[in-house]
Structure 1
Amino acid sequence: MDHFLYRNGSLHAEDVPLSEIAASVGTPFYCYSSATLTRHYRLFKDALDPLPNMVCFAIKSLSNVAVLKLLGDLGAGMDVVSAGEYLRARAAGVPGDRIVFSGVGKTREEMRIALEGGIRQFNIESEPEMRALSEVATALGATAPITIRVNPDVDARTHEKIATGKSENKFGIPIARAREVYAEAARLPGLRIVGIDVHIGSQLVELEPFEQAYKKVAALTETLRADGHTISRLDLGGGLGIPYTRSNEAPPLPVEYGALIKRTLGHLGCEIEIEPGRLISGNSGVLVSKVIYVKNGEGRDFLILDAAMNDLVRPAMYSAHHDIIAVTEPGPAAPTQAFDVVGPVCETGDTFAKARELPLVVEGDLVAFRSAGAYGAVMANEYNSRPLVPEVLVRDDHFAVIRPRPSYDDMIKRDIVPDWL
Structure 2
Amino acid sequence: MDHFLYRDGVLHAEEVPLPEIAAAVGTPVYVYSAATLTRHYRVFEEALAGLPHLICYAMKANSNLAVLRLMASLGAGMDVVSEGEYRRAKAAGVPGERIVFSGVGKTRAEMRLALTGGIRQFNVESEPELIALNEVALSLGLRAPIAIRVNPDVDARTHAKIATGRSENKFGVPIARARAAYAEAAALPGIEVVGIDVHIGSQLTELAPYAAAFAKVAELTDLLRAEGHDIRRLDLGGGLGIPYRRSNDAPPLPFDYGEVVRRCVGHLGCEIEIEPGRLIAGNAGILLARVIWRKAGEGRDFLILDAAMNDLVRPAMYDAWHDVIPVEEPMAGAELAPVDIVGPVCETGDTFARGRPMPPLGAGDLVAFRSAGAYGAVMASEYNSRPLVPEVLVSGDHFAVVRARPSFDEMLNRDTIPEWLGLGPGRRERSG
TM-score bucket of the superposed structures, by smaller chain: over 0.9
Deviations 1:141-200 (A, max 9, x none): 111100000000000000000000000000000001111100000001211000000000
Q: Distance in 2 between matches of 1:86 and 1:248?
A: 36
Letter in 2 for 1:55: I
Specify the alignment match of 2:264 in structure 1.
264
Distance 2:227 2:331 in 1: 67
Give the CA deviation at 1:31.
Answer: 0.2
Which residue of the partner structure matches residue 429 of structure 2? none
Please name the residue that 2:410 is paired with.
Answer: 410
Distance 2:291 2:325 in 1: 12
Q: Kindly indicate whether residue 94 of structure 2 is the aligned counterpart of residue 94 of structure 1.
A: yes
1:334 Cα offset (Å): 1.2
Note the 1:7-26 alignment, pairs <5 A: 7-26=7-26
| 3-state secondary structure, aligned to 1:63 | coil
Q: What pairs with 1:243-282 in structure 2 (closer than 5 Å)?
A: 243-282=243-282
How far 1:248 moved relative to its partner? 4.1
Residue 217 of structure 2 is aligned to residue 199 of structure 1: no
- Deviation per CA, 1:236-281: give whole Å up to 9, x if none: 0000000001124110000000011001100000000000000000
Q: Read off the aligned partner of 2:316 and give its amino acid letter.
A: A
Query: 1:154 is paired with a residue of what secondary structure?
Result: coil
Alignment of 1:3-402 (within 5 A): 3-402=3-402
Deviation (angstroms), 1:336: 1.5
Q: Give the distance between the partners of 2:189 and 2:81, measured in 1 at CA.
A: 24
Secondary structure at 2:148's aligned position in 1?
strand
Scaled by the length of structure 2, the TM-score of the pair is 0.97
Q: Could you tell me how far apart the structure 1 residues matched to 2:70 and 2:332 are? A: 37
Aligned counterparts of 2:115 and 2:181: Cα–Cα separation in 1: 22
Write the deviation string for residues 29-61 of structure 1: whole angstroms up to 9, x where unpaired.
000000000000000011001100000000100
Aligned amino acid, residue 49 of structure 1: A
Structure 2: distance between partners of 1:210 and 1:295: 46
Secondary structure at the counterpart of residue 339 of structure 1: strand
Q: CA deviation digits over 1:295-349, x for unaligned, max 9?
A: 0000000000000000000000000000000000001111211100000000000
Equivalent position amino acid for 1:82 in 2? S
- In 2: Cα distance, 1:362 partner to 1:247 partner: 25
CA offset digits 1:87-126 (Å, max 9, x no partner): 0000000000000000000000000110110000000000
CA distance in 1, matches of 2:322, 2:248: 16
Code of the aligned partner of 1:416? T
Output the CA distance in 2 between the equivalents of 1:296 and 1:34. Answer: 39
What TM-score, normalized to structure 1? Answer: 1.00
SS of equivalent residue, structure 1 residue 200 = coil
Counterpart of 1:407, as a letter, is S
Matched residues in 1 for 2:395 and 2:170: separation?
40
Q: Secondary structure at the match of 1:231?
A: coil
Please report how far the alpha carbon of residue 393 of structure 1 lies from its aligned counterpart in structure 2 after TM superposition: 0.1
Give the 3-state SS of the residue equivalent to 2:371 in structure 1: coil
Q: Which amino acid aligns with 2:74?
A: L
User: Which secondary structure does the structure 2 equivalent of 1:420 belong to?
Assistant: helix
In structure 2, give the amino acid aligned to 1:215. A
Find the aligned partners of 1:168 and 1:333 in 2 and give their Cα distance: 50
* Inter-partner Cα distance in structure 1 for 2:42 and 2:114: 27
The answer for unaligned runs of 5 or more in structure 2 is 422-432
Deviation, 1:420, is 1.2
Aligned AA (2:191): L
Deviation larger for 384-393 or 239-248: 239-248
Percent identity, aligned pairs only, is: 72
Whole-angstrom distance in 1 between the partners of 2:250 and 2:307: 28
Residue of structure 1 in register with 2:426 after alignment? none
**Displacement after TM superposition at 1:66 (Å):** 0.5
